[in-house]
Amino acid sequence: MNTCLYHSRRSPARSQFGNGRRRWIVALSCVLLTAWLVPDAKAAPLVFGLKAGLSISTQEYDYENDVLTFERDPRTGLAVSVYADFPITPIISLQPGVGYIQRGSKIDVVQTSETDPDRAIHRELDDRIDYLSMPLYVKAVLPSPKYRPYLLAGPRLDWKINDDSESSTLLANRYETFVYGGSVGAGLEYGYGAVGTVILEFAYQFDLSDAADMGGLTIRNQSFLFLLGYTF
């Protein structure tokens, strides 16, 4: 038995929230452009890095018929990326990256069979979507000899490379190829001088466009990332 999916019109509150987030992305893009045009010769040198860890993802299902809603559970996946850190000032840098991330969600359903209709079986169905994710962060770091905390924020573009939905055949190949969104995060660097720098990072990523739009249902992703990294 597959879970039936229907869609929802957006409420005025959600539309206003979406417009607000879009304005935030436009404003941040202007900040990025300004920072790029005003470099600082005293800034640190360009570095490259690798991040890897866990992606704990959920999905926001927006139905037209609010009676037919289903509670979605988080799913844990993999997140791996490479990035470059372009210094603008001693404390501000641009950090473009590209990586692989697993998003999606899970749902617990009750199923019966034709041979034994009186026996109910609980089954967890997994909806997994894989993306090539391309964030562009503005990074602000607090300089210190060894331990350097930092903040991240910026826009993101995701390119879908695979989707596998167990909860409904209606979702098969219905996810959008490209999704844009935003990311915010914080981390801690531990410097090893010329050898490199170890980083511990937490980030929250959200969609600003629909990951899927079926006329009766729209879906948006959101993920919490727990990452360990190293810069060269």
**In the chain, domain spans:** 12-231
pLDDT of residue 121: 72
pLDDT of residue 9: 40
Query: What pLDDT does 215 receive?
Result: 78
Count each helix (H run) and each strand (E run) in the chain, helices first. 1, 9
pLDDT in tens, the chain (232 residues): 444 443 334 444 444 445 555 555 555 555 555 444 444 445 567 899 999 999 999 999 888 766 556 678 999 999 999 999 999 999 999 999 999 999 999 988 766 666 766 776 777 889 999 999 999 999 999 988 789 999 999 999 999 999 988 877 777 778 999 999 999 999 999 987 677 899 999 999 999 999 998 878 889 999 999 999 999 8
Q: Which two tokens stand for residue 55?
A: 């992606």
Main-chain dihedrals φ then ψ at residue 64, nearest 5 degrees = -70, -40
Distances (CA, A) of 93 to 39, 60, 206, 231: 10, 32, 22, 14
For CA atoms 124, 207, 9, 175, give the dihedral sign: negative
- pLDDT in the model for residue 201: 98
Architecture of domain 12-231: Beta Barrel (2.40)
Q: How far apart are CA 63 and CA 214, in angstroms?
A: 10
